[in-house]
Structure 1
Amino acid sequence: MNTDETADHLGLKPKTLVNMRSLGTGPVYHKIGAKVWYRGKDIIAYTNGRRFMGTGLRDES
């Protein structure tokens, strides 16, 4: 998926995803020439790593 599609999937603005990319806090991405691509499995891994059961409690499952 491209940046716009990935941002939409994650409920973010594309600019937010670009900022996360520059900070190294977003999902893994691949750059081919000037194009940035996200793989579905990398987006799933990113969202799974952000699961919480309550304030400050990570879901380890």
Structure 2
Amino acid sequence: MQLAEEQNRALIEETRVQRHHQLEEQDIDKIKAAQFASKQQQQLLDLMEIGRSYVTYKSSHGN
């Protein structure tokens, strides 16, 4: 009976550790996704600024 309880505790601990690692990996994936989205957003803002500059240039120089 005691052996079964020890095995059960060991299994519970192993499961807990595995779940903790899964959560850490999910957190890392979320951070990477957020960093990617931030980079994409910055690129879009840069393109919008280029477009604004182009429109301003064209409107002040004709054509």
Report the TM range for the smaller structure's normalisation: under 0.3
Q: Which has the higher helix share?
A: 2
TM-score by length of 2: 0.25
TM-score by length of 1: 0.25
- Higher RCO, 1 or 2 (CA under 8 Å, sep at least 6)? 1
Q: Which has the higher strand share?
A: 1
